[in-house]
């Protein structure tokens, strides 16, 4: 090969290498999204209400508030290359099954629910050292669950599943007095011909330092965590303070 030909051949290979590297890096970067978020929404849901929303595979839902998820605001699906591996949380499995069950799919592979939560929210929370592994993320959520003790507080306040109705303002005030911050509470709206909404989800918020903080947004801000939460054809939304609120104890309670 002549020197001139060799020169152009080397240039061509170098250009191809740059092109391939750029393509590869672009693919990787496209799977990693910005991690800008301000606070965490720690969501508990009421299994009986979840089953009312979609009785796909609901059998004997737990009669205590369970974890729905720990969600950074303003960030979702931050690293699609960081795949969920259940073996990393093997020491937590018993607690996960009890406090963080897949209410809707109790007889199927329960790890799919945890995989979804890790993929969508855990990979974003992992920008903080306290959450920077799957074991840390799920383990810290379990710690927060015990610390918040939503089940215990509601019982102490006399708020328990019943066929009677509660005032939403009374539930909110009780939670505010106990935690010192304003939670976010979501309900199923009244069905046709009914007057009461059904409580379904309570979110307690934390700063990045894991200090309690109001879930309400300042004026002019928007909460990127979905305002509505949907199971099947039913949808949770922020509760209406003026409507009576139903806290169901059994699937067939609501007529």
Mean per-residue pLDDT, 69-73: 96
Confirm whether 194 is domain-assigned: yes
Distance CA 212, CA 216 (A): 12
Q: Which residues are catalytic?
A: 68, 117, 121
The token pair at 101 is: 């069950």
Q: Tell me the pLDDT band of 82, cut-offs 50, 70 and 90.
A: very high
For residue 81, the enclosing domain spans: 37-246
Q: Tell me the pLDDT band of 216, cut-offs 50, 70 and 90.
A: confident
Confirm whether 182 is domain-assigned: yes
Confirm whether 238 is domain-assigned: yes
Confirm whether 54 is domain-assigned: yes
Confirm whether 143 is domain-assigned: yes
Distance CA 245, CA 190 (A): 9
- What CATH number does the domain containing 80 carry? 3.90.730.10
Confirm whether 113 is domain-assigned: yes
Confirm whether 153 is domain-assigned: yes
pLDDT at 226 over 60: no
**231 DSSP β-pair partners:** 234
Which H helix or E strand runs over 197? strand 197-207
What is the tally of structural domains in the chain? 1
Confirm whether 205 is domain-assigned: yes
pTM (two decimals):
0.81
The string of pLDDT tens digits covering residues 181-203 is 999 999 999 988 889 999 999 99
Distance CA 171, CA 159 (A): 8
**72 DSSP β-pair partners:** 40
């Amino acid at each position: 090969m002549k020197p001139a030909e060799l020169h152009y051949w080397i240039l061509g290979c170098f250009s191809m290498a740059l092109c391939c590297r750029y393509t590869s890096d672009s693919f990787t970067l496209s799977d990693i999204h910005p991690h800008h978020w301000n606070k965490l929404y720690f969501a508990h849901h009421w299994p009986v209400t979840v089953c009312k929303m979609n009785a796909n595979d609901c059998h004997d839902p737990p009669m205590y508030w369970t974890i729905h998820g720990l969600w950074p605001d303003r960030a979702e699906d931050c690293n699609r290359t960081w795949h969920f591996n259940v073996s990393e949380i093997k020491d937590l499995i018993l607690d996960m099954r009890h406090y963080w069950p897949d209410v809707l799919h109790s007889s199927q592979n329960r790890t799919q629910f945890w995989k979804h939560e890790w993929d969508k929210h855990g990979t974003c929370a992992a920008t903080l050292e306290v959450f920077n592994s799957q074991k840390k993320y799920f383990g810290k959520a379990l710690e927060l669950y015990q610390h918040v003790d939503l089940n215990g507080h509601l019982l102490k306040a006399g708020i328990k599943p019943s066929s009677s109705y509660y005032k939403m303002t009374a539930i909110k005030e009780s939670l505010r007095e106990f935690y010192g911050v304003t939670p976010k509470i979501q309900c199923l709206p009244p069905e046709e011909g009914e007057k009461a909404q059904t409580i379904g989800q309570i979110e307690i918020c934390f700063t990045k330092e894991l200090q309690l903080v109001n879930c309400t947004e300042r004026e002019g801000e928007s909460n990127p965590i979905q305002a509505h939460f949907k199971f099947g054809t039913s949808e949770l939304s922020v509760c209406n303070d003026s409507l009576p609120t139903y806290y169901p104890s059994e699937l067939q309670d609501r007529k």
